[in-house]
Structure 1
Amino acid sequence: MRNRGQFILYFLLALWSTGTNFSEAGIATRAPKIGRLIRVEPSGKGDFTRIQDAIDAVPSNNLELVFIRVEPGTYHEKIMVPVDKPFITLSGRSASNTIITGSDSGDIFGSPTVSILASNFVGRYLTIQNTYGSGAKAVALRVSGDIVTFLACRITSHQDTLLDHVGRHYYSNCYIEGDVDFIFGNAASLFRKCHVHSVSRGGGFITAQHRASPSENTGFVFLGCTITGLTNTFLGRPWGPYSRVVFALSYMSSAVLPQGWDDWGDASKQRTAYYGQYECYGPGADMSKRVPWSRVLTGEEVSPLLTTDMVDQQSWFRNAPSLFN
């Protein structure tokens, strides 16, 4: 158990292999000083009125930091940042007034309102939503690029809200809402100080992590988060047999079911899934009635999440540049 418990260390070493520097506010400080500024404004006072047009204006194989400032408004469009356009920052001024909205359903790769395929992407102060409603797969955000950060964003739908597909991802101070498997995929991701809210009317699932083999260094870590819900919800179920999810130092409301986890009707996954909890609190954090195949993690096992040696590294998170060419 101890060796398997050390996955957190290996997971974070991979996550931070390019260096990560999260300040106490969850924001890193290193950033290029010069970038290209593109303004999107619905009334036509900016460079573009549509976000996708601004992304399309970025050249293929881009090597320049491009800062797309999205002015307040509601943008009814589907957004895709293609794989050949890295180094884009898409930034609103506040998630409360900068809204990207869609309502597609039916396919996890076709329905997303926003799809990030490129590496070195930053999303800030945006609401990304899929308003289709319950009863079908309706992704709000797909993240398939490597080295991707979302800061202070609202990501909302019902089923399959956030397709945290592949790559290394960091979500800080985000609000994520849904009902069934609404944080799912096979990325290596850290959720820090996020509010995760279930709108399930009963028996929903927050996570469905898809790790398929013990050789895959992927998983979801929720650190210092708040977990709430309308009614009862599970913390997760194993989409992949080696699914890995850890909650640490997080508040769990009474919406979290006492058993915590579900095996998705396949008892064999109980032997391979890795579901852990460390010093969480609140009425839903009681471990006494958790399924026996979940884990109470020790300080030694979880320490790589908490030590300054791990979190005070050189960052790949970018703030806004101070100059534009």
Structure 2
Amino acid sequence: MAAQSSSYIPLIIIVAFCWFISNSNGRLLSEKLTWKRLITVDQSGEGNFITVQDAIDSVPSNNVDVTLILIKPGMYKEKVTVPEDKPFIILTGRNAENTTITWDDSGDIYTSPTLSVFASDFTARYLTIQNTYGAGAKAVALRVSSERAEFYACRITSYQDTLLDEGGSHFYSNCYIQGGTDFICGNAASLFQKCHIHSISDGNGAITAQRRMKPEEDTGFYFTDCRVTGIKSCTLGRPWGPYSRVVFVNSYMSNVVNPYGWDDWGKPSTHSSVYYGEHKCYGPGATRSKRVEWSQSLTNQEAATIFTKTTMISAKSWIIKP
């Protein structure tokens, strides 16, 4: 087969993410952009609530109206949960640099998160979500167990297990994600587009720990047009699940990425089952001459197939622009 043009992959992604088709509930995206309820959170007391959780709690159960919760600048020290029965919430600040939801907890990936999202059709924009515990234990900043969720221009920071991308179909755009060990983990089907991935590991900590358990699962982490930087050295991923799937496309990798690229977590049996791919990545850390032989340098067609055959991509008709 003749080689495909270099513009093929971006074209596939643009078509697959067309903004103007109907979402899973049959509504046009332009309709979804129109919120019906506005709630303001302001620590000064001039809004509807002074805490983020109180604002979420005020949304009725089995919500059907898009609800915009506007968070005024400030440091909100609280653990926040968006329960499953409160879909269609947009949680937004105006600038992630001055609007932060923060907590300091550790020990368990399911109870330590600063923000836990269980509701479907959730959106977060222009927020910092952090867990300040530091190194030494599991300390999740953001847990996403939503069927559908979107994050735009958010800063998500911790050290170990920063983002528990647990399950569902998720989209991260222009986000900054920082950690040291397995800091993007879980078994969701997620696209990371134009995100900055920053490792603070001081010794080959893994960026991803994707947990795909069966070959028929349409899950995986897909990074396109991203940047990978760090302070010392890291690997791109290691297998939490035996069929772990992670792909980097058109992404910049600084020299922080270890030349061998990927880690098997001491499980050589996974060499034949994991799917770790790279395509048209660039920068000093993208050189594949010393990559582990069980990772893949994808062709144009292989990369396009990965993006188009998964449920993760076909479900993206519900994505909206911020």
Question: Whole-Å Cα distance in 2 between the matches of residues 78 and 222 of structure 1?
Answer: 28
Work out whether residues 186 and 209 of structure 1, in 8 Å CA contact, stay in contact via their aligned partners in 2.
yes
Q: What CA distance in whole angstroms lies between the structure 1 residues aligned with 2:316 and 2:279?
A: 26
Q: Say whether residues 1:137 and 2:138 are aligned partners.
A: yes
CA contact (8 A) 2:35 2:67 kept: no
Residue 5 of structure 1 aligns with which residue? Answer: none
The residue number in structure 1 matching 2:200 is 199
Equivalent in the alignment of 1:146: 147
- The one-letter amino acid of 2:267's match is D
Secondary structure of residue in 2 paired with 1:55: helix
In structure 2, the CA distance between the partners of 1:93 and 1:197, relative to structure 1 (3 Å rule), is: same
* Aligned-partner residue type, residue 316 of structure 1: W
Contact 2:157–2:178 under 8 Å retained in 1: yes
Q: CA deviation at 1:303?
A: 2.3
Q: Which residue of 1 aligns with 2:261?
A: 260
Structure 1: runs of 5+ lacking an equivalent: 1-8, 321-325
Give, in angstroms, the shift of residue 316 of structure 1: 1.6
Is the Cα contact below 8 Å between 1:21 and 1:312 reproduced in 2?
no
Alignment-derived partner of residue 292 in structure 1: 293
CA drift of 1:176 comes to 0.1
TM-score using structure 2 length: 0.88
> Which shows bigger deviation, 53-62 or 31-40?
31-40
Give, as a single letter, the amino acid of the residue that structure 2 aligns with 1:137: K
User: Partner residue of 1:276?
Assistant: 277
Q: Percent identity?
A: 58
**C-alpha displacement of 1:301:** 1.1
Unpaired runs of 5+ residues, structure 2, are 1-8, 21-27
Q: Which residue identity is paired with 2:149?
A: V
Structure 1 residue 215: deviation in Å?
1.3
| Contact 2:168 2:188 (8 Å CA) reproduced | yes
Give 1:318 shift: 3.6
Q: Which residue of 1 aligns with 2:319?
A: 317
Q: Cα deviation per residue 1:186-213 (whole Å; 9 max; x = unaligned)?
A: 0000000000000001111100000011
Stretches (4+) displaced over 2 A: 19-23, 28-34, 303-307, 310-315, 317-320
Query: Is 1:47 aligned to 2:44, yes or no?
Result: no
Q: Give the aligned partner of residue 21 of structure 1.
A: 18
Shift of 1:317: 2.6
- Per the alignment, residue 37 of structure 2 pairs with 36
* Partner-residue secondary structure (3-state), 1:110: coil
Could you tell me how far 1:147 is from its partner in structure 2? 1.2
RMSD between superposed Cα atoms in Å: 2.4
Higher relative contact order (CA 8 A, sep 6+): 1
Counterpart in the other structure of 1:65: 66
Q: Which residue of 2 aligns with 1:92?
A: 93
Give the deviation of 1:302 after TM superposition: 1.3
- The amino acid across from 1:176 in the alignment is I
| Residues 256 and 86 of structure 1, relative CA distance in 2, 3 Å threshold | same
Structure 2 residue aligned with 1:175 = 176
Q: Distance between the aligned counterparts of 2:258 and 2:72, measured in 1? A: 41
**In 1, Cα distance between the equivalents of 2:305 and 2:17?**
13
Q: Deviation at 1:311?
A: 8.3
Match of 2:23 in 1: none
Aligned partners of 2:34 and 2:66 also within 8 Å: no
Change (3 A) 1:292 1:95: same
Asked whether the 8 Å contact 1:71–1:93 carries over to 2, the reply is yes
Give, in angstroms, the shift of residue 306 of structure 1: 7.9
